[in-house]
Structure 1
């Protein structure tokens, strides 16, 4: 394996770079466990491929709802071809990746403050 990150996934060794390359994905920056990265990429790819007419808003909302439901609140998602950002995220809750070399997805989690 050349420089890839090897991880054990369901008892087999998986190179995240290989998994992402198959899906046309390139990770720009990540602070997220490998299984969550795979979940995000898989969800984004399936959602994108199933849309008759693509909208950034639909893809962002789908990813946000999926991660809120599985990993708890509060997830945020930004999808677009050109945007800038500076965000504060919870540890282990940040992924910024591109799909098909043109679409960028930023998925991150923030802490939820309880009202007094």
Structure 2
């Protein structure tokens, strides 16, 4: 089972969402070969979009750097062997922020 083999590097997700990400990665690796990183990323991204709403981005590979902006509580980076997975919900513009997370407006207004 992948969940026991995955090493979470960085995350700010709730534990339940982290488990969703690890479970989806395990499922993707059961379906696709480890060399099919684009298909693995597509599989994880599409399911997170369906379950947790639109705007998720997924990067899968063995060697990549990154510098991204994400919604609070919507980022995880973990490794399974030499394969790294980064999953996050990005922000495109203010309208997206208002439509996806209306409660964040209240936090911004109170800051």
> Cα distance, 1:35 vs. partner?
0.2
**More strand by proportion, 1 or 2?**
1
Which ranges in structure 2 are unaligned for 5 or more consecutive residues?
97-111
Which ranges in structure 1 are unaligned for 5 or more consecutive residues?
1-18
5 Å matches for 1:1-116? Answer: 20=3, 22=4, 24-51=5-32, 54-99=35-80, 101-113=81-93, 114=95
TM-score calculated relative to the size of structure 2: 0.77
Q: Tell me the C-alpha RMSD between the 2 structures.
A: 1.8
**More helix by proportion, 1 or 2?**
2
| Structure 1 runs (4+) greater than 4 angstroms displaced | none
- Residues of 1 paired with 2:26 and 2:35: CA distance? 12
